[in-house]
Amino acid sequence: MSEQEFKRALGYANSAFDLLKRSGIPPYPQFYELLYTYSTGVNPTLNARINAIFRNGDSPTTNLAETLYNEFLKSDVNDRMSSVSERMHARIEAVYEAIDSAMTTANAYSGSLQSASGDLEREISVAAMKELADKLLSETRRMQETNRSLEQKLEASRDDIASLQRDLDDVRRESLLDPLTKIANRKSFDEGMDGAIAEASETGVPLCLMIIDIDHFKSFNDTYGHQTGDQVLRLVAMTLKSNIKGKDLAARYGGEEFVAILPSTDMEGAVIVAENIRKAIQAKELLKRSTNEKLGRITASFGVAAYRPGDTPATLIERADRCLYAAKHAGRNRVISESELEAMQAQVEETKDVSAA
């Protein structure tokens, strides 16, 4: 974890504890998780609900926190996935039972055939022959009926399992999307980083990481409200996604930060992509939907880092983060890459040397 990421997480944690203390809610793990999630802003529906409570002047209580936790965090995608898995398990068990029943009938039929074979090897009367034929005919019809029943059950099970598989696929896709912006979430980004770094390490193809932070987002959010803030987040996400292609992955990293994994892209190409996105964001004029009031333009700062042999996701993120913070300190609304940051640092050192001399 980079120093900047640690500071962000610590800020969210302090905010959560402060809310717990001010509300008189005990700092149990589930309540801490609830208010930590609120502090990050990754669940817009939860934030809207809590903001409404604060606006109405209601005093948060333990019971209310419990209700919100059960509604927004306890019944999550994992529960839905578990439910689908249980239904699939039950359906597979039903298939096994149908097959076991059919096998029992088949074994009984095989036994009848073997018994009849032994009878036919001996001389038997016409009446006994007729009785044996009737018995075999009855057993055969029973076997046919069992087979038809098994086929019907297997057909129904096949359709049910296919439907359940589609449900599982939908839940998994949903679990990898940020609910507000509809682009990849942090979990999806983490998986994508692991895969991209493994590929770069094995093949030697270039890989770059871009981190984006919306400039002055907190003050914008405080001035115009969370709904307008959510509109800004969606706009940036849409702009980011529409300006990357192929195997690139755009994701919401947390709060007002976004990331893009750029496989098969060198530093020069990544900087060009970042500049295109920066200009596209700046070019969009924001309107307040309820009044059509012009709210001006938003800007974002960018940090770009390139994969180096031996890098882990943490080390690559840390270097991109340093570039992002350099862009912030350099006046915002700009892209700074590793190579530019190194040149800036070298220039600072040169200036120090000259001053010392």
- Catalytic residue IDs: 256
Task: Write phi, then psi, for 120 (nearest 5 degrees).
Answer: -70, -25
If you search the block for the tokens 């862009």, which residue do you land on? 327
Three-class secondary structure of residue 286 per DSSP: strand
Cβ atoms 31, 20 nearer than 8 A: yes
3 Cβ contact partners less than 8 Å away, ≥ 6 residues apart: 318
Query: β-pairing, 207-214 with 335-337?
Result: unpaired
Give CA angle at 12 (51, 304), nearest 5°: 115
Q: How many CB atoms lie within 10 A of CB 4?
A: 18
Token pair in block for residue 301: 């700062």
Using DSSP, state whether 249 is helix, strand or coil.
Answer: strand
Q: What does residue 139 show for φ and ψ, rounded to 5 degrees?
A: -65, -40
CA–CA dist 238, 231 (Å, integer): 11
Q: Token pair for residue 346?
A: 């070298």
Q: Is 29 exposed, middle or buried (0-12, 13-18, 19+ CB in 10 A)?
A: exposed
Q: Could you give phi then psi for residue 76, rounded to 5 degrees? A: -105, -170
d(CA 277, CA 242): 9
